[in-house]
Amino acid sequence: MANELIYEGKAKELFTTEKEGVLRAKYKDDATALNGGRKEVFAGKGKRNNTITSLIFRYLKAHGIPSHFIEQISETEQLIRKVEIIPLEVVVRNVLAGSLAKRLGRPEGEKMDTPIVEFYFKNDALDDPFINDDHVVFLGACDRKEIETLKALALNVNEKLQELFSEIGITLVDFKLEFGRDETGAIILADEISPDTCRLWDKETKEKLDKDVFRRNIGNLITVYDEVLNRLMEVVK
């Protein structure tokens, strides 16, 4: 059946379409922090994140990164390929911030010589715990070869995104990716890439242009998401 809601997450709803294997993702205006513990609605957030994600996935596709993205079909909606989501959050870090700064007891802003890739187990009840490769295998989320594929893809995405954001005066501090398996079992990029899932700092002013303005109550979310969108629209056609 088409137009059936099959999943509702914190920031998106997924619906079936007439076409087998194709879903419609609708971006919501909700912002959550503290694993859903804090929630607020920002009118217009959904359309900004949908457009930002669509631009970025188009850019990545043009640079050889396979993903679930098909096309943006409205302000808040996009068509995506149905994949079996791997229950991991793959985080890539270029600059120390957020939970890692806290865990290591060092100030935010320290640049890394080489990027760090981390895995978190996607499980709301457990607050998405940090896990290592052995845990990933134990959980049955991926085998060793797939772990290497995930890391290579994540680092490849990082290179492409660092280049893109650098062009628009933004430092890509860190970000979270999710991956899925397509009908052939191949691992492809999924979910979204937006200021909800990345830390983005203005290169010159160091201003935060991402969800930290909401998490830390330090600015207007819509204003900074617009800034990211406007800059991206200048370079991604």
CB of 176 to ligand UDP, least distance (A): 3
Q: Does 175 bind ligand UDP (CB under 6 A)?
A: yes
How would you write 7-56 as a 3-class SS string?
Answer: EECCCEEEEECCCCCEEEEEECCEEEECCCCEEEECCCHHHHHHHHHHHH
Angstrom distance (rounded) from CA 38 to CA 22: 32
Q: Does 191 bind ligand UDP (CB under 6 A)?
A: no
Task: Please name the amino acid found at residue 44.
Answer: G
CB of 17 to ligand UDP, least distance (A): 26
Are 60 and 162 within 8 A, CB to CB?
Answer: no
CB of 65 to ligand UDP, least distance (A): 18
Q: Among 13, 30, 128, 226, indicate the residue that binds ligand UDP (CB under 6 A).
A: 128
| Residues of span 63-92 touching ligand UDP by CB under 6 A | 89, 91
Q: Does 45 bind ligand UDP (CB under 6 A)?
A: no
Binding part of the chain for ligand UDP, among 109-117, 150-158, 193-201, 229-237 by CB under 6 A, reads 193-201
Task: Please name the amino acid found at residue 8.
Answer: E
CB of 120 to ligand UDP, least distance (A): 7
Give whole-number Cα distances, 198 to 72, 94, 142, 158, in Å: 20, 11, 24, 11
Write down the residue that tokens 């607050």 correspond to: 127
| Residues of span 202-231 touching ligand UDP by CB under 6 A | 211
Are 212 and 199 within 8 A, CB to CB?
Answer: yes
Q: Does 56 bind ligand UDP (CB under 6 A)?
A: no
Q: Among 27, 56, 174, 193, indicate the residue that binds ligand UDP (CB under 6 A).
A: 174
Angstrom distance (rounded) from CA 87 to CA 18: 27
Binding part of the chain for ligand UDP, among 24-32, 137-145, 169-177, 217-225 by CB under 6 A, reads 169-177
Q: Does 119 bind ligand UDP (CB under 6 A)?
A: no
User: What are the residues whose beta carbons fall under 8 Å from the beta carbon of 49, sequence distance 6 or more?
Assistant: 11, 27, 192, 194, 195, 196, 225
Quote the tokens at residue 38. Answer: 């804090």
User: Which residue lies nearer to ligand UDP by CB, 22 or 130?
Assistant: 130
CB of 2 to ligand UDP, least distance (A): 30
| Interface ranges with ligand UDP (CB under 6 A) | 89, 91, 97-100, 128, 174-176, 197-199, 211
